[in-house]
Amino acid sequence: MPQQQVDALHADHRRLHGRVSDSDGDILIRISDNPAGYRIPSHCHRHIQLLCAFSGVVLIETERGCWMIPPGHALLIPAQLQHSVEMLSDVSIKSVYLLTGDDELALRMLQVLGVTNLAHALITEAIRLSDAPPGNRKLELVLGLLTAEIAALPIQPLGLPFPADRRLAALCRAYMAAPSVSERLDDWAAKLAMSRRTFTRLFQRETGLSFVAWRQQASLFACLPRLAEGVSVTEVAMLAGYDNVAAFTTMFRRRLGTAPRNYMKASLAR
């Protein structure tokens, strides 16, 4: 991406960030369209942010982990938490900013959430009414219902903890760029000149997951952008190192509760 384009996108984001920071509204909604490959540098808000990917796939990284947001999903980001946002494809983002939250919202912090049809419709309507004068009754009702709906959005298992150890983090990033279920724990241990036992303990301590569990989740992360781009399930399964589509579909269904085709159809239909 040309540096001039990156600079222009950074300037747009700073203006958006400033408008949000200066607002005293209880709930705000902002839109941003971003090209594939663009990365918003680490920043934070004084508001709680519900970052919704209406189209495209987003990767959000914080000191607490890494989350992928496929189409039709969102991440609830706590106020004052530093986070960066990377566009894995062309992305249309709708962000809802909330000054306060209740216990139901607290349970959903840093959780990938499915955007329901109702939430999608309410966000769209709130955007349409965004130029309404202060005190507009319809806008107040829409925003009130949207706040209640956000607190009930279903949680999806799409978080991926990232290690703080730089050597281990480098291996994890390389794996996400070219995932393969054939990679073994012993191979990674050898690359770091560690015994199997030492590596296993390090990986568990750094990520909170076993190597196999992390690898499966990372493979799922890498597959979602390709499915969103329209790559066939068969091709995605082969790229991920699966010998057959059935094994890939079983893994996908176990993690997300539905088959790959059904999952992406539902996401894109919202």
Q: Do residue 87 and residue 187 come from a single domain? A: no
Q: Do residue 150 and residue 240 come from a single domain? A: no
Final residue before a domain boundary, out of 125, 156, 187: 156
Q: Do residue 203 and residue 151 come from a single domain? A: no
| Ranges in the chain, pLDDT < 50 | none
Total number of domains in the chain? 2
Final residue before a domain boundary, out of 156, 190, 225: 156
Q: Do residue 150 and residue 191 come from a single domain? A: no
Q: Are 93 and 60 in contact (CB under 8 A)?
A: no
Q: Are 122 and 90 in contact (CB under 8 A)?
A: no
- Using DSSP, state whether 23 is helix, strand or coil: coil
Q: Do residue 35 and residue 151 come from a single domain? A: yes
Q: Are 165 and 205 in contact (CB under 8 A)?
A: no
Q: Do residue 181 and residue 128 come from a single domain? A: no
Final residue before a domain boundary, out of 92, 127, 156: 156
User: What's the Cα-to-Cα distance from 110 to each of 184, 242, 260, rounded to whole Å?
Assistant: 29, 30, 24
The reported pLDDT for the residue numbered 162 is 80
**C-alpha neighbours within 13 Å on the C-beta side of residue 151:** 13
Q: Do residue 178 and residue 104 come from a single domain? A: no
Q: Structure tokens of 207? A: 């990520």
Q: Structure tokens of 218? A: 């990372």
Q: For the domain that residue 38 is a member of, what is the CATH number?
A: 2.60.120.10
Q: Do residue 137 and residue 178 come from a single domain? A: no
DSSP codes joined into one string, 248-264: HHHHHHHHHSS-HHHHH
The reported pLDDT for the residue numbered 189 is 97
The reported pLDDT for the residue numbered 251 is 87
In the numeric block, the tokens 């309410």 are attached to 122
Q: Do residue 10 and residue 115 come from a single domain? A: yes
The reported pLDDT for the residue numbered 267 is 58
- Using DSSP, state whether 205 is helix, strand or coil: helix
Q: For the domain that residue 246 is a member of, what is the CATH number?
A: 1.10.10.60
Rounded-to-integer distance, Cα 144 and Cα 147, Å: 5
Q: Do residue 121 and residue 225 come from a single domain? A: no
Q: Do residue 152 and residue 18 come from a single domain? A: yes
Q: Structure tokens of 169? A: 């983090």
Q: Which domain holds residue 143?
A: 3-156
Q: Structure tokens of 8? A: 């222009």
Q: Do residue 8 and residue 77 come from a single domain? A: yes
The reported pLDDT for the residue numbered 188 is 97
The reported pLDDT for the residue numbered 266 is 64
